[in-house]
Amino acid sequence: MRILTGIQPSGKLHWGNYFGAMKSMFDLQAKGENFMFIANFHAMTTVRDGAALRAATKDVALDYLACGLDPEKTVMYRQSDVPEVQELAWYLSCLTPMGLLERCHSYKDKLAHGLEATHGLFAYPVLMAADILIMQADLVPVGKDQKQHLEVTRDLAQKFNNAYGETFKLPDAYIPETVATIPGTDGQKMSKSYHNTIELFEPNGSIKKKVMGIVTDSKTMEEPKEPEGNSIYELYKLFATPEEVADMAAHFRAGNYGYGHAKKALLEAYHRLFDPFRAKREELAKDGDTLEDILRAGAAKARAAAAPTMEKVRAAVGL
Ligand code: ADP
Ligand code: TRP
């Protein structure tokens, strides 16, 4: 089974990215042939500064390696190191009805958040389909917001197969329901566009400030509280063991347990998981050569994996 996922280097990765996307990829790492790429072409829809894009690409690679990506088990590469995806995106584009892209929520959301309506932003799902289809992926771990893009991908694969003969596998999205939407510090979905994120590796002082600043209602410490739906509790569930979670729920319901107590428990649980990742990241960041070697080796494997499909595609379309 081939498993592929991609992530845009368009900002520092946050808790929502870790639990919504990265973790399911790590969990699947032992289950198939894995590919993970850094979608730097996609990030150009929002990042217009070359140095910033390059730095963010490196940051994403370091974050993944620090948190558990094993380059022996997962091929990690930069999207731009497989330029054939742009070629495939064109072939798919020629089969893509405008209406299909016009219906994409993500495009409409981005416009609603003030992004310029460029062709790149509009055609984004076609390039995403090319990323997936070029690798003949079976399974694509993504967040819930990417579900429609996977439907577009399947649709385009089908259109290509109908027009030119059986060429592409139809991939499935892998969206664990348990981590559907991670809340941010203001209770809305955590997202860099909403400025409510807690980054994976921001300085410890700033993590503490953000956790302590998570918005709550104004119940007093003495009052009993319903934990379900409370952002601190929802975030704690991601980091803590089931026993610890049950314990926090009981404390909330019993009363005499304030939001401050829960925030401290959340912070401790974050450190337990992330302190070793932070140490590993610092180690890797000191050694630029190893990172570049991993990305170059990944690029070579990814291009080799894409080659047979591209040969077939070119022959099919008449080139
Ligand atoms: P952002 O919303 O900060 O711009 P992206 O859209 O770049 O994040 O998301 C990258 C990946 O992380 C996607 O697969 C997305 O579904 C997942 N993800 C991001 N934020 C969350 C969240 N709050 N809850 C669950 N998954 C998330
Ligand atoms: N659109 C994805 C996101 O914003 C990133 C992405 C690009 C991707 N190409 C992909 C994810 C292919 C999975 C497979 O998160």
Q: What is the pLDDT along the chain (319 residues), one digit of tens a residue?
A: 999 999 999 989 999 999 988 988 898 888 899 999 999 999 999 999 999 999 999 999 999 999 999 999 999 999 999 999 999 999 999 999 999 999 999 999 999 988 899 999 999 999 999 999 999 999 999 888 899 999 999 999 999 999 999 999 999 999 877 666 899 999 999 998 889 999 999 999 999 999 999 999 989 999 999 999 899 999 999 999 999 999 999 999 999 999 999 999 999 999 999 999 999 999 999 987 999 999 999 999 999 999 999 999 999 999 9
- Atom of ligand 1 minimally distant from the CA of 190: 23
The CA distance from 314 to 319, in Å, is 5
Strand 74-78 vs strand 2-7: parallel, antiparallel, or unpaired? unpaired
Give Rg (Cα) of the chain.
21
Catalytic hit among 58, 110, 210, 237 = 110
Site of tokens 């790429």: 37
Strands (E), the chain: 2-7, 33-38, 74-78, 139-141, 172-174
- Atom of ligand 1 minimally distant from the CA of 143: 16
The CA distance from 71 to 73, in Å, is 5
Nearest CA to ligand 1 atom 12: 17
Nearest CA to ligand 1 atom 7: 8
> What is the structure's pLDDT at 302?
98
Does residue 59 contact residue 23 with C-beta atoms inside 8 Å? no
Q: Is residue 110 among the annotated active site residues?
A: yes
Q: Is residue 264 among the annotated active site residues?
A: no
Distance, C-alpha 149 to centroid of its chain: 13
Does residue 20 contact residue 173 with C-beta atoms inside 8 Å? no
The CA distance from 158 to 99, in Å, is 16
Does residue 11 contact residue 46 with C-beta atoms inside 8 Å? no
DSSP label at 166?
A: S
Does residue 74 contact residue 302 with C-beta atoms inside 8 Å? no
- Helix, strand, coil content of the chain in percent (nearest 5): 60, 10, 30
Nearest CA to ligand 2 atom 5: 7
Ligand of minimum distance to the alpha carbon of 38: 2
Residue 163, classed as helix, strand or coil, is helix
Ligand of minimum distance to the alpha carbon of 7: 2
What distance in angstroms lies between residue 152's CA and the mean position of ligand 1's atoms? 19
Nearest CA to ligand 2 atom 9: 128
- Atom of ligand 1 minimally distant from the CA of 14: 3
Site of tokens 């995403």: 128
Closest CA to 174 of 42, 35, 28, 30: 28
The CA distance from 31 to 39, in Å, is 23
The CA distance from 2 to 291, in Å, is 24
> What is the structure's pLDDT at 175?
85
DSSP label at 318?
A: T
Closest CA to 128 of 117, 114, 142, 115: 142
Task: Tell whether ligand 2 has an atom less than 6 A from the beta carbon of residue 110.
Answer: no
Q: Is residue 159 among the annotated active site residues?
A: no
> What is the structure's pLDDT at 179?
62
Q: Is the pTM of this model over 0.85?
A: yes
Catalytic hit among 12, 144, 192, 219 = 192
In this structure, the number of other CB atoms found within 10 A of the CB of residue 22 comes to: 22
| Inter-axis angle of helices 259-286 and 204-212, nearest 10 | 160
> What is the structure's pLDDT at 178?
63
The identity of residue 318, as a single letter, is G
